[in-house]
Structure 1
Amino acid sequence: MQRKNIARFSHQATMAYNLGMNQLTLALPFALPHAALAGDLIKALQTPALAALISRTSSSSLHEFDGTTRLLPHEAWLAHALELAPPAASDDAAAPFAAAAMRGFGLAPEPGARYFLIHPVHIEITRKHLMMDDLRQLQLSEADSRTLFELARPYFDGLGQPLYYGDAHTWFMRADAWSDLRCASPDVAASQNLADWMPEGEHARASRRLQNEVQMLWHEHPVNQAREARGLKTVNGYWLWGANEAKASAPACAHALHVSFAPGWLSALAEPSRRDADPASIIGGQADALVVHAGLVEPAMAQDWGTWLAQLQALEQLWFAPLLAALKDGRLGQLRLVLSHRDGWLDCTTSKHAQRKFWRAHTLNKLTSS
C-alpha cells in the first residue's frame, strides 16, 4: 500500500511539474538586422541560445510586408495578435490601438466613438524636406507636456474633437467624422520625408489645418524657449495615428500581453502588472503569454548598431538562454519567436522535441536570410 501511495504521489508530482506554460510568443521588433550590414553584425554576436532557438524549429517562415499599409510589420502583426485587425499580410492590415490604449491609461472611451493616438513631436526642416525625430528621443517631461496639452485643448474642443491626456508622450483625440483618414505610424514616418507619410483622405486638409494651428500656438511658447535654453529640441507639432472605433470591451486575449522597453501607448495595452516583462515570472505563471520586447527599436531606427548589438547580447542572457533551458526541462511547451525589421518578419516555433534535432547545426543564418 505504501509503495502504491509513493507511486501515486510520484505520478501526481510529475503531472504537476509538467503543467508548465504551454506556449510563449516573444515578439522582437527590429531583431532582424539591416540587410546591408547583416553579415557583419551577425559575426559580432555571441548568442548560442538564440542560434539554437531559430535553428532547431518545428516551423519557420519568412514573411514580406507591404509598406503601403503605412505601418511597420510588428505593429500590424501585434494588432492582429490582439484581435484588433486582420492579418498583417492582408491588404486590410491596420493598427487600431487608440481605444485599447486609452483604457490602459484609465480613460473610458465611449462605445461607438472614434479615437486617435496623438504624440507631441519635433519636426525639422532639412534642405530637401520635413523630417520628424524618433519620439523616444524627445525627452518631454510631464509638466511641459501638460502645459502644451492644456494650451492646445481649447482648439480641439472648439472643433468638437476633444483631447484626452495619457502621459507625456501619449494623448488621444476623439474625431468621429474622420473615419476616412489614413495615417502612418510614427515609427514608419520618423527620419523619413514626411511628405510621404502625412494623413490621407477626405479630412486630410482639415487635419493639416489643425496641425498648423497647434504649431503656431506652440511656436516660441515659454515651454519651448526653456527647452531650447537647456539644449533640447522644441515640441513643434504632433503625430496622429492608430485610430479605431471604441467597442464595449477590450478583446480577451489582451490579458495575455506582457511588454518590456515599450513606449507609453504600447505599455498601456498590457495590464499594469505586465508592463515590465520578466521571463522567470512569466514561465512560472504557467499561463500562455505574448511578450513584446521593444528594446531594439530605438537603436535600429537610429542605425546605432553598436547599441543594437549590446541590446541583443543582453537579450541572450536575460531571455534566450532562460527560455531555451525552460524548453529543455519541460517548463515551457512551445516557444514562438517573431523577429522583424521594416520589410518583414521571421516567424519561428520551437519545442523540446525540436531541440532534439541534433543534425541541425546551431546558426544565426536565418537572421540574414531577409
Structure 2
Amino acid sequence: MSDTPHLLIPFAASPSDGCQQALQDLALPHLDWLLARLPPPATDPGDETDFIPPHERALARHLGLPATSRQAPWAAWHQRQTGVTGADGDGGTAWAFVTPCEWRVTTEHVTVGDPAALRLDEAASRALLDIVAPWFAEDGIVLAYEQPTRWLARGAVFEGLATASLDRVIQRDVRAWMPDALQARLLHRLQSEMQMLLYTHAFNDARAAQGLGPVNSFWVHGTGSLPPAAPGAATAAPPPEMPTALRDAALAEDWRTWRAAWQALDSGPVARLADRVAAGGAARLTLCGERSALTWQTGPRGFVQRIQSLFRPQRMKDYGTLL
C-alpha cells in the first residue's frame, strides 16, 4: 500500500467544443508548474464510447479493483467493504448498483436526467424501494437500500454483465449505453415494467404535488463479482483525493462553472501538491478526460527524461486534446 498522496481529477478535459474553447486561455499556474517538473506521464488510452470512464478505471487501479473499459464491479467492492448482504443474501453472488432516475422520452431521444436533481431523501427512496422491490424479486434480484439515489442489488444476471457508468449517461441519450440486449433482456423488461408501473403511480402523483420531477425508471451500473477474499488479506489502499466539481459542471455542460472549478482546484489541492513536490516530497497526479487518463508520479529523472521534458507538453491546455 502506498502512502504517496494521490490527486485524481475527473473531467479535467472534454473533447466537446465548449470545453476545448474554455481551455485555451485558462490560467492554471500551479498545475503548469507541476507538469513541467514531474516525469513524463503514464497513459491509460481509451475511447469516448467505453462503458467505464477513465477516472473510474484510474480509481479502480488505485484500489486494486479489477476493471476494464467495459466493466468495473463497484457494487461488489462496496458490498465487501460494508458487509451489506441484502434481504437474505450471503454476498456470494454478483452485485450491481441500481439508481432510480427520470428518463425523458421524445421522438428523437431518451435522455437520463441527473439523479441528484430528483431531490430524493431517504424516506422517499425507501418508499420507492418498497414499491419496486417485489418486481425485482420475481426475477431473482434482491434490492437493499444504500443511499437515496443508489441501491445495492444482488443477482445472477449481473455476473459478467457490462454496464455503463452513471457518469456516461447523465444528460445523454441512454440508447447508446444500454447493456447487451440478449444478456440483459431481463433488465430491459424490468425497465419497461417500471416505466408502466410508475407512470401513473401515487408515488409520482405526490411528487408532482410537491413540484418534484417523476421517477420513472432506473439505471444499473457497477456490475460484476469479485474473487473470494483471502483470509487475512490486506485492506484496500486509502482512496485518493478525488474532487467532483469539474465532473458536476461538465455533465451539465456548464463550461463557465467548469473553468471556475478548475481555478479553485489549482489554488487548492493542486497548489498543495505542488508545495509538496517543491519540498522534495512524493506525489501522484492523475488527470482524466472522457477518453484517457494521464498519471504523473514523482521519481528520479534521468538525462533522457530531462531532455524529453523539453519537448513534451507542459501546460494543461496542451494536454486537453489527449484526454
TM-score of the two chains, using structure 2 as the length reference: 0.84
- The one of 84, 97, 100 equivalent to 2:74 is 97
Flag the structure with larger Rg. Answer: 1
Residue number in structure 2 paired with 1:57: 38
Corresponding residue of 1:29: 10
Question: Does 2:322 match 1:341?
Answer: no
The 8 Å contact of residues 62 and 237 in structure 2, kept in 1 or not, is answered as no
Distance 1:178 1:368, change over 3 A: closer
Contact 1:25–1:291, Cα closer than 8 Å, also in 2: yes
Amino acid at match of 1:363: R
Residue type at the aligned position of 2:209: A
User: Aligned pair 1:219/2:195, yes or no?
Assistant: no
CA–CA distance in structure 2, aligned partners of residues 64 and 349 of structure 1:
17
Equivalent residue pairs, number: 310
Confirm or deny that 1:126 pairs with 2:126. Answer: no
Give 1 or 2: higher strand fraction: 1
Q: How many angstroms apart in 2 are the aligned matches of 1:22 and 1:85?
A: 21
Identity of aligned residues (%): 30
Structure-2 separation of matches of 1:189 and 1:42: 24
Q: 1:153 to 1:204 in 2, by over 3 A?
A: same
1:105 is displaced (CA, Å) by 5.0
CA contact (8 A) 2:47 2:290 kept: no
> What is the aligned partner in structure 1 of residue 275 from structure 2?
325
- Amino acid aligned to 1:211: Q
What are the residue-to-residue correspondences of 1:38-57 with 2, within 5 Å?
38=19, 40-57=21-38
Contact 1:119 1:238 in 2 (8 A): yes
Secondary structure of 2:223's match? strand
1:350/1:122 CA distance change after superposition, 3 Å: same
1:182 aligned counterpart, secondary structure: coil
Once residues 85 and 180 of structure 1 are traced to their aligned partners in structure 2, the CA distance between those partners, rounded to angstroms, is 12
SS in 1 for 2:207: helix
SS at match of 1:303: coil
**Partner of 1:171: helix, strand, or coil?**
strand
Aligned to 1:190: 170
Instruction: Specify the SS of the correspondent of 2:236.
Output: helix
Q: Distance in 2 between matches of 1:300 and 1:252?
A: 36
Secondary structure of 2:11's counterpart equals: coil
- Is the alpha carbon distance of 1:180 and 1:327 closer, same or farther for their aligned partners in structure 2, counting shifts above 3 Å? closer
Q: Distance in 1 between matches of 2:3 and 2:174?
A: 44
Answer yes or no: is 1:163 the counterpart of 2:143: yes
SS in 2 for 1:296: helix
1:84 maps to a residue whose letter is: L
Aligned counterpart in structure 2 of residue 363 of structure 1, from 309, 315, 322: 315
AA aligned opposite 1:151: I
Structure 2 alignment gaps of length 5 or more: none
1:309 to 2:259 alignment: yes
After superposition, residues 107-126 of structure 1 pair within 5 angstroms as 107-108=84-85, 110-126=90-106
Matched, 1:74 2:61: no
CA separation of 1:207 and 1:45: change in aligned 2, threshold 3 A: same
Cα-to-partner distance string for 1:309-337 (whole Å, 9 max, x where unaligned)? 1111111222111111122223x32x222
Alpha-carbon separation, structure 1, partners of 2:106 and 2:31: 40
Alignment-mate amino acid for residue 75 of structure 2 = A
State whether residues 129 and 193 of structure 1, in contact with CA within 8 Å, keep that contact through their aligned partners in structure 2. Answer: yes
TM-score, normalisation: structure 1? 0.74
Give 1:168's aligned amino acid: P
Which among 236, 245, 248 is matched to residue 225 of structure 2?
245
Q: 246, 261, 282: which one pairs with 1:296? A: 246
Q: Deviations over 1:276-312 (max 9, x none)?
A: xxxxxxxxxxxxxx33222211110111011111111
- RMSD of aligned alpha carbons: 2.9
> Which of 196, 200, 205 is the equivalent residue of 2:185?
205
What is the CA–CA distance in structure 1 between the aligned matches of 2:299 and 2:226, rounded to whole Å?
A: 38
5+ residue gaps in structure 1? Answer: 1-20, 258-289
State the shift of 1:192 in Å: 2.5
Cα deviation per residue 1:173-196 (whole Å; 9 max; x = unaligned)? 111244253321222122332222
Secondary structure at 2:31 match in 1 = helix
Shift of 1:47: 2.1
Counterpart in the other structure of 2:131 = 151
1:5 match: none
**Residues 248, 129 of structure 1: alpha-carbon distance in 2 compared, 3 angstrom cutoff:** same
Q: Provide the secondary structure at the position in 2 that maps to 1:23.
A: coil
